[in-house]
Amino acid sequence: MEAAQVDQETIDDIVTAVGEALANAIEHAYSQGRDGFVELHARLEESGIAEVDVCDDGTFIEREERQGRGFGLRIVRQIARSVSIDTTKGTTIRMQFDAPRSEPAA
């Protein structure tokens, strides 16, 4: 994103949201002792939309709110333009972000 001249504040927001999605997959997708994977796919469109998928082949669990926990998806939803969750095969969280490119300095 730096190479595409996306501003640092936007990059920081995207890294925060994606980090939360990755942490959720690592912490919750697999029952104890089960091996699995977590993948990240990212693309930056010419239109200024960044799209990031966090994928695993584990089980998505909708958890009840607990004191001091459960902020991950709320943070993702606050930062991202849109969030979708597909649990057809494992879990894929697709996040879209506004990431307009800065105009080069003259």
pLDDT value for 69: 56
CATH at 94: 3.30.565.10
In a domain, 49, yes or no: yes
Contact (CB, 8 A) for 6 and 101 = yes
Rounded mean pLDDT of 97-101? 90
Distance, in Å, from the CA atom of 52 to the CA atom of 18, rounded to the nearest integer, reads: 8
Backbone angles phi and psi of 51, in degrees to 5: -120, 130
In a domain, 92, yes or no: yes
Q: Tens of pLDDT along 56-88?
A: 998 876 656 555 556 788 899 999 999 999 999
pTM (2 decimals)? 0.83
Token couple for 92? 């894929």
Q: Which residues, 6+ apart, have CB-to-CB distance to 103 below 8 Å?
A: none
pLDDT value for 64: 60
**E strands within 1-106?**
38-44, 49-56, 82-86, 91-98
CA distances from 25 to 3, 16, 91, 103 (A): 28, 14, 8, 36
Q: Provide the residue range defining the domain that includes 41.
A: 8-98
In a domain, 2, yes or no: no
* Radius of gyration of the chain, Cα coordinates, nearest whole angstrom: 15
In a domain, 103, yes or no: no
In a domain, 3, yes or no: no
Report the domain count for the chain: 1
pLDDT value for 32: 73
Q: Tens of pLDDT along 26-46?
A: 888 887 778 889 999 999 998
